[in-house]
Structure 1
Amino acid sequence: MTTVAAYAAPAAKAPLERTTIERRAVGEFDVLIDVKFAGICHSDIHQVREGWGRANFPMVPGHEIAGVVSEVGPGVTRYAVGDRVGVGCMVDSCRVCDNCKAGLQQYCTNGATMTYNGIGKDGEPTYGGYSQKIVVDENYVVRVPDGLALDEAAPLLCAGITTYSPLNHWNAGPGKKVAVVGLGGLGHVGVKIAHALGAEVTVLSQSLRKKDDGLKLGADHYYATGDPQTFEDLKGTFDIILNTVSAPLDFTAYLSLLRTDGAMVNVGIPEEPVNILLSSVFGNRRTLSSSSIGGIPETQEMLDFCAEHGLGAEIELISADQINEAYERVLASDVRYRFVIDTATI
C-alpha cells in the first residue's frame, strides 16, 4: 500500500478538502501512474452532490487523468516506466461478457468498475484522479500520443471519448450535417471532433454569446435556441444532433430539426426525469438515443485521432485549492472550456 495526497469530498454536498488515501500495491499486471493533470467534469459535481443518487464517501473524484508511468508489475507488457498515459471513466470490467470481448467495456453486462465512486473487485472503494498517484490494470490504461500536451489531453479521457464515440457510431463525416447542443466542456470538444471528421457542424446554444468561440473551434454555423425562429429555420436539417447538456430540453422541438432517419444522441444526463412525446419521433423514423463513453480500444483510437488532427481541450489550469471555486464556476457556465487541476499542487 502507498499513501498519497488527494482531494476528497468527506460527505455529500461538502466542500472538497485535502486528505490522504491508500493506493494498493502494484500487482502483476498493474501500472502505477504519477498523475500530472486531472480534468474537472460536470459528472464529478453530480456525484459529489448526489445528484445521480446515493454515492460513496469520502469521494475522490476525477476520471480525466493524464500522467506518467512510474512503476509496472512484472507481467505488464504494454507500458514501461516513463510512458505518457491516461485513465478515463473506468478501471475494470468483467472481461468475459460479450460486450467486454467486443471492446465495449463501458457496456459491461456485469457492470464496469468506475474510476471513482465505485467498488473494485477487491471490495474496496475506488478513488479517482484528484490525487498524486493511481494504480490501474494495464488493460484499462491508454497511451497519450506525443502530439498531445498532457494538460490538454486529460479532458479527452471523458469529454473526448464521450463525444467521439457517438459521432463515430452514427457516422459523422463528409456529407453529414451535425448539430452540437451546448458549447461547454463536452460540446467544445464535440465541435472540434465533428469538424475534424469532415461533417458540416452547427452549434445550438441558448444565446450567441459564444458564437465567435464556436466558429473558431470549427463550427460552420451558430444559432441561438433562445430564439424560436431557430427551430423554424432549421426544421429537417440535421443527420445527427449531439446533445451535450445535462438539463431537460424540449425534445419535441429538437427532434423536429432531424432529417428522415436522423438521430438525436444524448450524452448529458439530467438529474431529473424528462418528458417526450412519441409522436415527435414517429413521423420521419427519427431516433432518440444516448451514448456512454467508449471502450478502451475506441478511447485509444480517439486519442490517436486527436493527436493526428492537433486537437486538445481548451483548458483553464488551476491549483488544487481552487477546486471548490471551479465547481461553482462550472455550475455558472463560467469556464472556457474545461478546468484542469495541476496535481503537483495537491
Structure 2
Amino acid sequence: MISANARAVFHSEGPFKLTEIERRDLQPHDVLIEIKYAGICHSDIHSARGEWGPVQYPFVPGHEIAGIVTRVGSEVTKYAVGDRVGVGCMVDSCGECVHCHRGEEQYCLNGMTGTYGSVDRYGQYTQGGYSTCIVVTEDFVVKIPDGLELDVAAPLLCAGITTYSPLRHWGAAPGKKIAVVGLGGLGHMAVKIAHAMGAEVTILSQTLKKKEDGLQLGADHYYATSDPETFKKLAGSFDLILNTVSAKIDMNAYLSLLAVDGTLVNVGAPSEPLPVQVFSLIPQRRSFAGSSIGGIRETQEMLDFCAEHNITPEIEVISAKLIDEAWERVLASDVRYRFVIDISTMMNE
C-alpha cells in the first residue's frame, strides 16, 4: 500500500484533522499522481455532513484534483512520469454498459465509482483529493493542457465540466438566450463558458451586489431575483436556464422565464425537494431537467476548450489548515469564486 497524508473529517460536524490514509499499490493500468492542488466544491460539504446519504468516517473529500504523474503501472499507455494531469468526480465505472461505451461514464448503469465516498472494484473506500497523492486507473485521468496552470485547472474538473456539459448538450451557441441562476463557483464558470460559446448570457442573482463582477465575467445582462419586476420583465425570455444554486428556490417562478421549448436544467443539488407544478411546463412545452458532470472524453474536451479560449475560474488559493474556515465561507457565499487548496501546505499546523 502507498501512504498519503490527508485532511479528513471524523464526524459530520468536523473539524478537519491531519491524518494518514492508504492508497492501493499500482495495478497495471494505474497511475500515481502527486496532488498539487485540490478545489473545494459545495458537494464536498454536502457529502461530508451526511446530507446526501450515510458517510463512512474518516472522510477525505475533494474531486477537483490537479497534479503530476510520479509513477505508472506496467501497462499504462496514456501517461508518463512528469505529465500534468487531473482527476474529477469519478475514478472508475463498469466500462461495459451502453453509457460507458458511448463515453458517458457518469451515467454508468452499474454505478460509477466516485472519487470519494464510494467502494471501488478492489473493495476499498475511496478517499478524495484533500491529500498528497492518489492512485487512479489511466482511463479516468485527463491531461491538463499547457495553457492552464494547475491551480486554476483544479476547479475545472467539477465546476467546469458540470456547467460545460449541459451547455454543450442543450446547444449553447450564437442566437441562444441563456440565463444562469446564481453567481458562485458553478455560476461564474457557466457565465464564462456560455459567453465563449457565443450565447447571450443573463445572470439571475438574488441581489445586484455582484453585478459588476458578472458583467466582467462575460454576462450581457444581470437581474436581481429579489425584485418581483424581474420575473414580469423576463417572462418567456430564455431558451435555457442553468440553475447552479444548492438551495431551495421557487422553480415555478423560474420556469415562467422559459420560452416555448425552453429547458431549465438543475446542476445545483439542494438536499430538499424542489416542487414543480405541471402547468409550469405544459402550456409552453417547457422542460425541467438535471445534468450530472461529464464523461472523461467530454471532460478532456472541456479542458481543451478552456485552454483555447483562455477560460479559467476565479480562485483563492488557501493553506490546508484553513479548510474549515473556507467551508464556512462557502456556506456564507463569501468566496469569489472558488477555493483551491495548496497541497504543499498539507503538513502545516
Mapped to 2, the partners of 1:101 and 1:57 lie a distance apart of 34
Q: How does 1:171-182 map to 2 (within 5 A)?
A: 171-182=171-182
Find runs of 4+ consecutive structure 1 residues off by over 2 angstroms: none
The 2-side partners of 1:148 and 1:45 are apart by: 27
Q: Secondary structure at the match of 2:191?
A: helix
Unaligned runs of 5+ in 1: none
Q: Give me the whole-angstrom Cα distance separating, in 1, the residues matched to 2:21 and 2:282.
A: 52
Q: Look up the match of 2:342.
A: 342
| Maintained 8 Å contact 1:13/1:50 | no
Partner SS for 2:70:
strand
Aligned equivalent of 2:241: 241
Structure 2 distance, partners of 1:310, 1:117, is 33
In structure 2, distance between residues paired with 1:56 and 1:181: 33
* Residue of structure 2 in register with 1:215 after alignment: 215
Q: How does 1:61-210 map to 2 (within 5 A)?
A: 61-210=61-210
Distance, in Å, in 2 between the alignment partners of 1:152 and 1:98 is 33
Partner Cα separation in structure 2 for residue 109 and residue 324 of structure 1: 35
* d(CA) in 2 for partners of 1:12, 1:252: 33
Secondary structure at 1:19's aligned position in 2? strand
SS in 1 for 2:284: coil
- What is aligned with 1:313? 313
Indicate the RMSD between aligned Cα atoms, in angstroms: 0.6
Partner of 1:183: helix, strand, or coil? Answer: coil
Corresponding pairs, count: 346
Contact in 2 for aligned 1:56/1:118 (Cα 8 Å): no
List per-residue Cα deviations over 1:105-151 (Å, max 9, x = no partner).
00000000000011111111001000000000000000000001110
Offset at residue 39 of structure 1 (A)? 0.1
Q: Whole-Å Cα distance in 2 between the matches of residues 134 and 215 of structure 1?
A: 38
Counterpart amino acid of 1:230?
Answer: T
**Counterpart AA for 2:124:** E
Tell me the distance in 2 between the aligned counterparts of 1:219 and 1:43.
Answer: 25
1:326 aligns with 2:326: yes
- Indicate the SS of the match to 1:254: helix
Q: Which amino acid aligns with 2:275?
A: N
CA deviation map 1:77-102 (0-9, x unaligned): 00001110000000000000000000
- Write the distance in 2 (CA, Å) between the matches of 1:74 and 1:180: 45
Query: 1:263 maps to which residue?
Result: 263
Displacement after TM superposition at 1:11 (Å): 1.6
Q: CA deviation at 1:168?
A: 0.2
Distance of 1:177 and 1:127 partners within structure 2: 40
Q: Answer with 207-216 or 269-278: which moved more.
A: 269-278
Q: Give the SS at the match of 2:263.
A: strand
Deviation at 1:251, TM superposition (A): 1.1
Following superposition, the deviation at residue 262 of structure 1 comes to 0.4
Alpha-carbon separation, structure 1, partners of 2:79 and 2:122 = 23
Aligned partner of residue 4 in structure 2, secondary structure: strand
Separation in structure 1 between the aligned mates of residue 205 and residue 244 of structure 2, nearest angstrom: 11
Q: TM-score, normalised by structure 1?
A: 0.99
Q: What amino acid is aligned across from residue 177 of structure 2 in structure 1?
A: K
Q: Retained in 2: the 8 A contact 1:163–1:190?
A: yes
Q: What is the percentage of aligned positions where both structures have the same residue?
A: 64
Q: Distance in 2 between matches of 1:56 and 1:200?
A: 44
> 3-state SS of the aligned residue for 1:283?
helix
CA distance in 1, matches of 2:173, 2:230: 24
* Matched letter for residue 58 of structure 2: P
Cα deviation 1:237-268 (Å, max 9, x = unaligned):
10000000011111111011001000000001
Is the aligned partner of 1:40 residue 2:26? no
TM-score, scaled to structure 2: 0.98
